[in-house]
């Protein structure tokens, strides 16, 4: 079962608020996870991130990302972002400053039942 209903999701989406949609399963086998991984990584720009958390919220977490709404590219001292139509647009500025700004704008609250890794901004 998902953590949010469609009506609430749409409301927050219209307000342009970052959200985490999640469900959790407890499993003793790898079959379910391997099935998700095999079917998930087919698409370009999809990823799987594995994390073992210690501390207050212990557990093994598998985070899936697919069809990102924002894509940036950093090559040497050049920075680019891709728009909705996948056009490559040059960003002026130093990569370090641009990355710091992206991270600052990305911050948002996550549910207390999830580990901090849930607000992951990933790249490769």
Encode pLDDT of 53-93 as tens digits. Answer: 777 767 777 788 887 878 899 988 999 999 888 899 999 99
Model pTM score: 0.63
* Residue 1 in this model has a pLDDT that exceeds 70: no
**43 vs 7 pLDDT, higher one:** 7
Which of 58, 55, 74, 70 lies closest to 124 in space, CA to CA? 74
Encode pLDDT of 101-115 as tens digits. Answer: 998 888 777 888 777
Encode pLDDT of 11-46 as tens digits. Answer: 988 998 877 777 777 777 778 778 877 887 888 888
User: What ranges do the domains of the chain cover?
Assistant: 69-110
Burial 85-118 (b: 16+ CB within 10 A, else e): eeeeeeeeeeeeebbeebeeeeeeebeeebbeeb
What is the spatial distance between Cα 90 and Cα 79, in angstroms, rounded to a whole number? 6
């Amino acid at each position: 079962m998902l953590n949010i209903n469609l009506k609430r999701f749409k409301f927050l989406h219209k307000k342009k608020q970052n959200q985490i949609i999640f469900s959790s399963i407890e499993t003793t086998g790898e079959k379910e996870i391997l099935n998700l991984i095999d079917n998930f990584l087919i698409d370009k720009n999809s990823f799987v991130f594995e994390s073992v958390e210690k501390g207050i919220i212990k557990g093994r977490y598998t985070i899936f990302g697919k069809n990102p709404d924002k894509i940036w590219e950093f090559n040497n001292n050049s920075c680019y972002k891709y728009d909705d139509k996948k056009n490559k647009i040059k960003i002026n500025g130093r990569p370090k400053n641009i990355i710091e700004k992206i991270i600052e704008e990305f911050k948002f609250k996550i549910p207390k039942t999830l580990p901090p890794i849930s607000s992951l901004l990933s790249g490769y």
